[in-house]
Chains A and B, each alone.
Chain A
């Protein structure tokens, strides 16, 4: 595309992926400790990291908690909203298997809420 400025690509630091659940949880604990006193974009960045770590560790409820707080502070398209959609879907599926109608409805409404937020952001209404 000729007319648009290219974003400066940040060099991706090559780190070994953390696959061990205990390591993920330990890393999350470290990040939690850093959360105290943080405000604004710094807080959002740590919340997103927490959401990502707990998602990988399959701690769905905690991941949802931190991602939701992140989006309430800073509505932005990105990993938080895309991961949150998958997490809500996972919880919805668990509720459907457990025949918990209220929870199915709750998570379907959360999915609709995320999609509405997405529409509003593209339109500049968020």
Chain B
């Protein structure tokens, strides 16, 4: 009894330890050696702690940014960062254990649905599943669920999204890849299908993006964190200049306010770098374990893979999709305050991956014109949708940031609808 109490109070309440135990289970199920089990478990625990450290740095930087943004413009400014949402949920909100267990639960539900239904899709993109698990747990918690019911409901909803989102995209995926063997595992699918719809209605399929000559790469994206810096530094400096030295003095003290905010922008990038290093370490043992198990249990499954699987089919569409999505997201950034919602500052990496993939979808059904119009619409869509969720995120405790991947936002909407229905009874 004393031992059990010790385990419950000191081990199961520690998210880092719970995460390590899940990795340990996965490694044991794969019949790994003792050495591999121990090292994999320790690396996973370390990953969680690194993630926590990165999250603290991001939140500290965004707290200053958010306050000065409000003082400068009289508006709420939110940075679109699903990574930041995940970091804060796992640490400050104390939901790390639930998120980790729900992640495992999502794998299990995905496997069950793939075995029992005609939707034979196994979602293999580990990071995306972590974001989905985060939103499922956060909103299940917001709906009043706790403990085992929270984990079960979160796993069922997340597992359903993991199985059905690839199915939703598959009609267009079949056209792009020319086969039914591979599916898309990226939680921006609702955005892609919205883009395809706009493109189909406005485009001309006969004129493909691949018929024109474009540079074959976006070299300014060579380094992820340099790219984020290129976007965040101007945002922070504009806020500093607009707020003025008097309002910044509270934070910068004797340091010049422009220099201070420049360094705060770099702090944000640093926090993101550290957080993502933690996420990669965390998932490095968890995901292969469950992928291996799922492939064994559903051998006739269709793997739902990360969006770069589509890049070789239409590389020009990726570049144009990114450009037009960015244009659309800048337009969206100015629309949301007019709707009484916070201003959402777009994420460059989200615009690249989601925008690029949207470009491929748009090109398939609507050619170059479809890419231009569809992806501008996509850019506006991926700003407005997270903005609509931001009041609820604010109530939960997420200040200064909102989500990016729209399917995870719709997960939040789903829970809000269920909560509304339940409140009637």
Q: Indicate whether A and B interact.
A: yes
Structural contact, B311 and A111, CB atoms closer than 8 A: no
B209 neighbours in A (Cβ, 8 Å)? 1
A46 neighbours in B (Cβ, 8 Å)? none
B181 neighbours in A (Cβ, 8 Å)? 86, 89-90
Answer whether residue B313 sits at the interface, using C-beta atoms and an 8 A cutoff.
Answer: yes
Min CB distance A124 to B, Å, is 3
Query: In the complex, which residue of chain A has the Cβ closest to the Cβ of B367?
Result: A1
In this complex, the interface size class of chain B, counting residues with CB under 8 Å from chain A, is 35 or more
Structural contact, A122 and B218, CB atoms closer than 8 A: yes
Answer whether residue B306 sits at the interface, using C-beta atoms and an 8 A cutoff.
Answer: yes
Structural contact, A108 and B177, CB atoms closer than 8 A: no
Query: In the complex, which residue of chain B has the Cβ closest to the Cβ of A102?
Result: B292
Q: Which residues of A, 2-32, contact B by the 8 Å Cβ criterion?
A: 4-7, 9
Query: In the complex, which residue of chain B has the Cβ closest to the Cβ of A98?
Result: B299
Query: In the complex, which residue of chain B has the Cβ closest to the Cβ of A101?
Result: B292
Structural contact, B315 and A122, CB atoms closer than 8 A: yes
Q: Give a binary string over A41-65; 1 marks a CB under 8 Å from any B CB, 0 the rest.
A: 0000000000000000000000000
Answer whether residue B395 sits at the interface, using C-beta atoms and an 8 A cutoff.
Answer: no
Answer whether residue B303 sits at the interface, using C-beta atoms and an 8 A cutoff.
Answer: yes
Q: Within the assembled complex, what's the spacing in Å between the Cα atoms of A78 and B360?
A: 14
Q: Which residues of A, 87-109, contact B by the 8 Å Cβ criterion?
A: 89-90, 92-93, 96-97, 99, 101, 104-105, 108
A118 neighbours in B (Cβ, 8 Å)? 308-309, 311-312
Q: Which residues of B, 284-313, contact A by the 8 Å Cβ criterion?
A: 288, 291-292, 295-296, 299-301, 303, 305-306, 308-309, 311-313
Number of A-B contacts (CB under 8 A): 103
A86 neighbours in B (Cβ, 8 Å)? 177, 179, 181-182
Min CB distance A6 to B, Å, is 6
Structural contact, B303 and A4, CB atoms closer than 8 A: no
Min CB distance B295 to A, Å, is 5
Q: Give a binary string over B207-221; 1 marks a CB under 8 Å from any A CB, 0 the rest.
A: 101011110111101
Q: Within the assembled complex, what's the spacing in Å between the Cα atoms of A104 and B288?
A: 11
Min CB distance A125 to B, Å, is 5
Q: Within the assembled complex, what's the spacing in Å between the Cα atoms of A101 and B29?
A: 12
**A92 with B222, Cβ < 8 A, contacts A1-B368, A121-B311 known:** no
Contact of B299 among A7, A97, A111, A123 (CB under 8 A): A97
Structural contact, B216 and A105, CB atoms closer than 8 A: no
Contact of A4 among B182, B212, B315 (CB under 8 A): B212
B295 neighbours in A (Cβ, 8 Å)? 92, 96, 104, 108
Answer whether residue A119 sits at the interface, using C-beta atoms and an 8 A cutoff.
Answer: yes
Query: In the complex, which residue of chain B has the Cβ closest to the Cβ of A3?
Result: B212
Answer whether residue B130 sits at the interface, using C-beta atoms and an 8 A cutoff.
Answer: no
Structural contact, A108 and B212, CB atoms closer than 8 A: no
Min CB distance A83 to B, Å, is 10
Structural contact, A77 and B211, CB atoms closer than 8 A: no
Structural contact, A108 and B315, CB atoms closer than 8 A: no
Contact of A125 among B216, B222, B299 (CB under 8 A): B222
Contact of A82 among B177, B218, B319 (CB under 8 A): B177
Answer whether residue A70 sits at the interface, using C-beta atoms and an 8 A cutoff.
Answer: no
Q: Within the assembled complex, what's the spacing in Å between the Cα atoms of A119 and B209?
A: 19
Question: Which A residues fall within an 8 A CB radius of B?
Answer: 1, 4-7, 9, 77-78, 81-82, 85-86, 89-90, 92-93, 96-97, 99, 101, 104-105, 108, 111, 114-116, 118-119, 121-126
6 CB contacts below 8 A, A to B, read A1-B207, A4-B213, A6-B212, A118-B309, A123-B217, A124-B217
Q: 6 closest Cβ contacts across the A-B interface?
A: A124-B217, A96-B299, A124-B219, A77-B312, A4-B212, A81-B312
New A-B pairs, 12, CB < 8 Å, besides A122-B217, A123-B219: A1-B212, A4-B214, A6-B211, A77-B312, A85-B312, A96-B299, A97-B300, A108-B295, A118-B309, A122-B218, A122-B221, A124-B219
